[in-house]
A and B are shown apart, each in its own frame.
Chain A
Amino acid sequence: MSSEIELLVNKDYQYGFSTDIEADQLPPGLDEGVVRAISARKNEPEWMLDWRLKAFRRWQQMTEPHWSNVKYPKIDYQAISYYSAPRSAKPLASLDELDPKIRETYDKLGIPLQEQKLLAGVAVDAVFDSVSVGTTYKAELKKHGVIFCSFAEAVREYPELVRRYLGSVVPYSDNFFAALNSAVFSDGSFVYVPKGVRCPMELSTYFRINAADTGQFERTLIVADEGAYVSYLEGCTAPKRSTNQLHAAVVELVALDRATVKYSTVQNWYAGDEHGVGGIYNFVTKRGKAFAGSRISWTQVETGSAITWKYPSVILQGDNSTGEFYSVAVVNNHQQADTGTKMIHIGRNTKSNIVSKGISAGQGNNSYRGQVKVMPKAEGARNYTQCDSMLIGNRCGAHTFPYVEVQNNTAIVEHEASTSKIGEDQIFYCKQRGLSGEQAVSMIVSGFCREVFKELPMEFALEAQQLLGITLEGSVG
């Protein structure tokens, strides 16, 4: 029976194709010359190169962390190419100039780049290997003063904003992978929403790793000025390849006073095959800084990657700020995920809410790791953590590692955890009512994830639903 359930959750990875396109790719290896070469290819100003070099020197002194509950062979950082760009990727006057092969790739992925064909209200930035290949709806956004562009463009066009906020949430010295990213990051997205502006549409970046044996190191920086609102979506896929590829991204969010930033991710990097061969190593640092009265909300649906190491966090700096983390992490076959969040309460009356749903199938191993820290001055801080695990079959694992540190005795911190199993009896009950086994698993899993899915913007809710092979109607019905 459990093997039947496993079959049902085992869907073929449909984004595993690769695009044959001529690329400008640096040879494998990493030294100061490579950092300089990346910076030069992007015509970066001196300050940017200096920052990269400082990060690189710091990285050289650091060692790869191994405290997480994942196992993988040693990564050879000299065997990876740190830059790959489609040969034709010059600044485009309009999206019509985009290489048809790249456009075709995004069409296959279901990501429309032509503005006239766009789904209502989603602006898309598409990152193909190391560079952004096109940002849609730019003109429309500009009318509202919203800046949404590739990171490289932001460095050229908005250097003051970038210099002011880059590294302000995740310093280059933060951790091994963040330092590596800071040294070699190639592109990513930049968003700035001015004071009091509610961004008129969902912003979205679609990351695609195409080239073999390359790493992807994108960097995203989102700044919501006082009283602003922005909702941002991130999607990721990669071709099926038998070698492991490294993805080490950094995302920084800044919510100034009374601002709201909602950041949603559907991560579906290639997970490797059923024997655990290939797949993306996803080592990501995501963090937001919330100023007074602001709100930062992370929602993630993690279904891909061979290894996920990711802790979207919020530093609750300002009084009355709120941090939220809603997560669904699914592992199957030999996938390993060690994911969770950190909520650092610094300001008074700060609130954080954590809902984590881990689903383990096959021989997958799923760990929730979360830290709640209440600093001495965080009077009246509140945290609620709910951490649920679901097991499918007998060979998978679920683990919970909560770290709670409270230094203010007015704080209230709650942690609830549960583990359940999709049972033969639940499946049989559904089948006895006429549902197929597949529908049954879908329904049970979607019910389990309901609290997280309802946080996703509609466009992504649909994608998440397809990804898990499940129907969401249950949460609406």
Chain B
Amino acid sequence: MIHISDLRASVGDKEILKGISLDVGAGEIHAIMGPNGSGKSTLAQVLAGHPGYEVTSGSVIYQGKDLLDMEPEERAQAGVFLAFQYPVEIPGVSNAYFLRTAYNEVRKARGEPEADPLEFLDIVADRLKLVDLDEAMLQRSVNAGFSGGEKKRNEILQLAVLDPALAILDETDSGLDIDALRTVADGVNKLRRQDNAFLVVTHYQRLLNYIVPDRVHVLVDGRIARSGGKELALELEARGYDWITAEQGVGA
């Protein structure tokens, strides 16, 4: 699905990703964990093509294509989805219209016919149930005045509607209470298939109780310090991150 090799990226003069290599295959869920400031969110943003980061070296091959050579919207149209840690508000634009426009852009890129508003309503009604959101929220402005939990569930609704091949969840669990966390995780689990993959960025292990990863990678200071199976997440939960940072010799 995606093959990341020695990826380095900076903001201004500051290097944040210092050589990340990672392979995620179809049907897999990988968790990216790590202390604050380790570069987890940067990795997510760089893969999505955020213009604030400069990729200085390395390569990312996604479904055989050079991902770094693609515009953010081309990546999205090709099936790369980022669930934002801080979803952006767009006042005056209805959620329904925003979602339908996005959906149709992705359809167009795939050479599929666009959905008219009525067809789209059927598609989205089905997906709303997945994240336990009310149809009324379709008429509200995109994320404007949403609670933290509603914003995160709205991200997962978008994910469910756009049906990407590679979904990157950036701290989707932050700010969620336990019920909302379970709802979001259930939604993700229902979307799991053999032909898609998830990259789950999280600080805490608790999300991984519900979304069980195939692999766990721990990021420390812009590098993958350790990789392992799901039990690595449990170990981190028990011991914290200090022992890994100590092993790395970069200090706590």
Contact = CB atoms under 8 A, between A and B. Distances in A.
- Max chain B C-beta neighbours (<10 A), residue from A423, A444, A449, A451: A444
B97 A435 contact: no
Contacts of A451: 92
Interface stretch (B12-20, B99-107, B127-135, B216-224): B99-107
B237 to A, nearest CB: 30
B233 interface: no
A435 B105 contact: yes
A1 B53 CA distance: 12
Contact of B98 (A1, A443, A476): A443
Contacts of B98: 430, 433, 443, 474
Contacts of A435: 73, 101-102, 105
A276 interface: no
B76 A432 contact: yes
Given A1-B51, A428-B72, A447 B93 contact: yes
- The A interface is mostly helix, strand or loop, or mixed, namely helix
Nearest to B88: A429
A433 B102 contact: yes
Contact of A436 (B50, B73, B90): B73
Contacts of B52: 424
B96 A450 contact: no
Contacts of A432: 48-49, 72-73, 75-76, 81-82, 84
Contacts of A443: 90, 93, 97-98, 101
A460 B17 CA distance: 51
Contact of A425 (B71, B73, B88, B117): B88
B117 A477 contact: yes
A426 B88 contact: yes
A185 interface: no
Interface residues of B, number: 35
Nearest to A1: B51
B94 A434 contact: no
Contact of B90 (A424, A431, A444, A473): A444
Contacts of A476: 97
Nearest to B139: A477
A409 interface: no
A320 interface: no
B90 to A, nearest CB: 6
B51 A446 contact: no
Nearest to B84: A429
Interface string B72-91: 11011100011010011011
Contacts of B87: 429
Nearest to B120: A477
Nearest to A436: B73
A443 B48 CA distance: 21
A444 B93 contact: yes
- Max chain B C-beta neighbours (<10 A), residue from A435, A446, A473, A476: A435
A434 B92 contact: no
Contacts, number: 92
- Max chain B C-beta neighbours (<10 A), residue from A1, A428, A443, A444: A428
Contacts of B81: 432
A433 B51 contact: no
B162 interface: yes
A447 B141 contact: yes
A448 interface: yes
B252 to A, nearest CB: 32
Interface in A190-205: none
A447 B91 contact: yes
B76 A446 contact: no
B158 interface: yes
A19 interface: no
A417 to B, nearest CB: 15
Nearest to A450: B92
B109 interface: yes
Interface in B189-236: none
Contact of B72 (A431, A450, A473): A431
A443 B88 CA distance: 13
A357 to B, nearest CB: 10
Contacts of B82: 432
Contact of A473 (B76, B84, B88, B97): B97
Interface in A400-455: 423-426, 428-437, 439, 443-444, 446-451
A428 B97 CA distance: 17
Contacts of B75: 432
B76 A447 contact: no
A431 B76 contact: yes
12 contacts: A424-B52, A431-B76, A432-B82, A433-B98, A434-B102, A444-B90, A446-B92, A447-B90, A448-B91, A474-B94, A474-B97, A477-B93
Given A423-B88, A434-B77, 19 more contacts: A1-B51, A428-B50, A428-B51, A429-B88, A431-B76, A432-B72, A432-B75, A432-B84, A433-B98, A436-B105, A443-B98, A444-B90, A451-B92, A474-B92, A474-B94, A477-B93, A477-B94, A477-B97, A477-B100
Interface of B: 48-52, 71-73, 75-77, 81-82, 84, 87-88, 90-94, 96-98, 100-102, 105-106, 109, 117, 141-142, 158, 162
Q: Which 4 residue pairs of A and B lie closest in terms of their CB atoms, listed nearest first?
A: A477-B97, A447-B92, A434-B105, A447-B93
